[in-house]
A = this chain, B = another copy of it.
């Protein structure tokens, strides 16, 4: 693990998610840019002191020297955004598979470089778009593909939080709002990209054009903390994406609705074990995690009988589980392992960075529609 030391929320979540199924063991880490902190933190996690490293560079060098039965199987990147790329790059070059927090890189240019590096390295790369780990998100993706659903006509996705309406000065707020560490977007880079990924994952369609209105709601902020985006998809569907970090009183309200010609779906992270399947002619069906009739991917992503609620950590653990399964298949020479696993990969990483970069450009434009391409925008902030 690189990053995730003292005070870092997401590092602890990664460790819980990784350990949940008893199949992954944290063996080494560079938890902080400060060598002493990193060492101390690693030992607080009961790690072998010899494998608590003062820097990620050192870790990759040392770990690469270990015999394969001992060395770590993959690297997890949980640093602030600006370090995602250099850490992932060095890990891949040192021969390690990489599982990275999103956004994958600092900007689209880096993401394209990373894509080339992944290909060249022959290593696996996964991205923790956590919300795709929920069982009923997998079921939603499954249902959208059925003929009963009809063509997708509209997608409404929203991720709203309120914490930046209050807080300017905690550690988290500081780096999120700092373009040097966060990148060209705060709200869209942190949560908007999750919403975009979820919309594409479930609808099975790609966003091709956007119309964006981003806002920095407080004086002195240079990055967006709120944004509304109109969407066009490659199958002709329309959509709306709302993201906010200043939606006072909202927690982590991620909601998704997908409308088809004959049916529609509604899901919310506030009640993640319920998926509503609506229809023009039949009563709405309440689909629940754990039901016997769910699709294979949804069932595999479920650990409990229905009615015992599963949550965010379990969804996160599903990302880890699928990545581990992919690594096992890959290491055993399964040629399809690169593409056949239900895990966000380098192409999602590139698409995510394209979304972030173009949503910022679109917001600055006076033209209504802005195409999303994989070509970097002329300039970054």
Chain A interfacial positions (CB closer than 8 Å to B): 9, 12-13, 15-16, 19-23, 26, 45-46, 150, 153-154, 156, 161-163, 165-166, 211, 213, 215, 217, 226, 228, 230, 238, 240, 242, 244, 246-253, 259-264, 269-272, 276-288, 290-293, 303-314, 365-369
Contact = CB atoms under 8 A, between A and B. Distances in A.
A381 to B, nearest CB: 20
Contacts of A304: 13, 311-313
Contacts of A313: 20, 303-304, 310, 313-314
Nearest to A15: B22
B230 A228 contact: yes
7 shortest interchain CB distances as A-B pairs: A249-B278, A251-B307, A252-B307, A309-B311, A308-B312, A284-B286, A283-B285
Contacts of A154: 226, 244, 246-247
Given A22-B26, A240-B242, 16 more contacts: A13-B303, A20-B313, A153-B217, A156-B242, A162-B280, A211-B213, A213-B230, A226-B238, A249-B280, A271-B309, A277-B283, A281-B292, A283-B293, A284-B288, A311-B314, A366-B369
Contacts of A21: 16, 19
A264 to B, nearest CB: 5
Given A45-B22, A228-B238, A303-B16, A280 B248 contact: yes
B290 A251 contact: yes
Nearest to A366: B368
A240 B306 CA distance: 25
Copies in the complex: 4
Binding site of A, secondary structure by majority: helix, strand, loop or mixed?
loop
Contacts of A22: 15-16, 19, 26, 45-46
A288 B271 CA distance: 13
Contacts of A26: 22
Contacts of A153: 217, 226, 246, 248
A153 B249 CA distance: 13
Nearest to A275: B283
A75 B281 CA distance: 38
15 contacts: A16-B20, A154-B244, A211-B213, A228-B240, A240-B240, A248-B262, A250-B307, A252-B305, A252-B307, A270-B307, A271-B309, A284-B285, A284-B288, A309-B311, A311-B314
A12 B309 CA distance: 16
A309 B272 contact: yes
Given A154-B244, A211-B368, A286-B284, A278 B307 contact: no
A281 B166 contact: yes
B288 A251 contact: yes
Given A240-B228, A248-B262, A269 B309 contact: yes
Contact of A279 (B248, B269, B271, B367): B248
A288 B162 CA distance: 14
A277 to B, nearest CB: 7
Given A19-B20, A166-B281, A238-B228, A305 B251 contact: yes
